[in-house]
Structure 1
Amino acid sequence: MNTKSNNNELTEPQAADQENDQKNKQQEAAEQAAIEKRRDYLKSESTRITEIAGNEPNSALKCIHQLSVAGGATEATYIAIEQRVVADQDTAGAYHLALMAQNTPDLPIDARQLIELVVNKGDNDQRLALLKNLPLPPVDMIKEQILASDDGDAIGLMNAYLQINPEGYGSHHMLGSGQADRIVPLSPGNSLDLK
């Protein structure tokens, strides 16, 4: 018997290695195809959401919701939504977009402008929600607006919150302290209408 294998024939370990290499290449190709499909989907959704923001007044909350469902968007989409919020002076949209910007620092959004819109033109429920949900809220600005409103309930809620959290560190800080993860909702009058 010939104990030497022919150079054209693979040993069993070599054949297994070659088969594994082929499977790895197929898996990488499938993963790359999935990435491309996801990228195309996000581009398509981004274009659609950008068009809504550009053409439909008071559509910021609808766009933010659809952006969340899509799982992301292009920079142009975030900018279009921010422009819609500012054009409409939409404090509910500003609140949600500001939270997104605070939690995702590389978004092309001027969170400070949005926060100031909520503080200066929003209601006390929105101001209190900012106070509780932003990692570093503008405590003095919020406090000044709530005190100027003469709303006893809101002043009481603000004082109670600031008593346990004098620096006004938002929920981000409190989560690190072992508190449950929870975002304080806006006032009932600002519920999302997502038709």
Structure 2
Amino acid sequence: MSNQSINNQQANEALEQAAIDKRREQLKAESVRIIDLANNEKNSALKCIHQLSVAGGATEATYIAIEQRIVADQDAAGAYHLALLAQNTPDLPIDARQLIELVVHKGDNAQRLALLKNLPLPPVAMIKEQILASDDGEAIGQMNAYLQINPEAQGSQHLISSSDGDRVVPLSRGTNINND
């Protein structure tokens, strides 16, 4: 290998490292901003999760701050989104179980049904209990129809023939999850 090739390779590696360092600093700056928002603005979890997604990642402290905001606000919509994120990224420093329980106990039936369909292994008994207790005929019908085609309730990613309606879609207030 010639000296010029070695020099070019070293220059490329230095550029790559500089780009990585710049990205790391951007993520740190975004993390500080998101943590500040989570710590100081009530009901800001969905906004924080969106900004986290736009940033493409964050520090562990960012995820913890968002989780704390969700718990403080008892925010079922924020809990739903962060729980799904935690299911897809297992090394996040958050308690997904706590978030899922918050959705089941404080959320609405649309959020419960979305958990049933989107979590790999949802707490089926807990979800069924809350939906049945709501006496919401439409939600009970959707739950029963889903469990009939997927008795193990292993989440939509385990269905052999998944339709567009079965994809994991972020659930926000007012979202319709009617997946007939």
Name the TM-score class by shorter chain. Answer: over 0.9
Aligned residues: 174
Query: Rg larger in 1 or in 2?
Result: 1
The structure 1 residue matched to 2:4, chosen from 19, 25, 31, is: 19
Unaligned runs of 5+ in 1: 1-13
Matched, 1:167 2:152: yes
Distance 1:133 1:185 in 2: 10
- 2:59 maps to which residue? 74
1:19 positional shift: 1.2
Q: Do 2:37 and 2:48's aligned partners in 1 also have CA atoms closer than 8 Å?
A: yes
Say if 2:33 is the partner of 1:48.
yes
Describe the shift of the 1:42–1:185 C-alpha distance in structure 2 as closer, same or farther (beyond 3 A).
closer
Give the TM-score taking structure 1 as reference length: 0.85
Deviation at 1:179, TM superposition (A): 2.4
The amino acid that maps onto 1:90 is D
Counterparts of 1:185 and 1:155, CA distance in 2:
21
**Unaligned residue ranges in structure 2 (runs of 5+):** none
Task: Please report how far the alpha carbon of residue 172 of structure 1 lies from its aligned counterpart in structure 2 after TM superposition.
Answer: 2.6
Tell me the equivalent position of 1:139. Answer: 124
Structure 2 CA distance for partners of 1:85 and 1:190, relative to 1, 3 Å: farther
Closer/same/farther in 2, CA of residues 115 and 173 from structure 1, 3 Å limit: same
Which position in structure 2 is the counterpart of 1:107? 92
How far, CA to CA, are the matches of 1:32 and 1:178 in structure 2?
43
* Contact 1:135-1:172 within 8 A present in 2 as well: yes
Runs of 4+ with deviation above 6 angstroms = none
Could you say which residue in structure 2 is the equivalent of 1:119? 104
CA apart distance, 1:185: 4.6
1:13-69 CA distances to partner (integer Å, 9 max, x unpaired)?
x6xx21111110000000000000000000000000000000000000000000000
With over 3 angstroms needed to count, the CA separation of the structure-2 counterparts of 1:130 and 1:124, relative to structure 1, is: same
Matches of 1:52 and 1:190, distance apart in 2: 25
Q: Output aligned runs, 1:27-66, within 5 Å.
A: 27-66=12-51
Distance between the aligned counterparts of 1:138 and 1:55, measured in 2? 32
Supply the RMSD in Å over aligned alpha carbons.
1.6
Find the counterpart in structure 1 of residue 134 from structure 2.
149
Q: Percent identity?
A: 75
Q: 1:101: Cα distance to partner?
A: 0.5
| Cα 1:180–1:29 shift into 2, 3 Å | farther
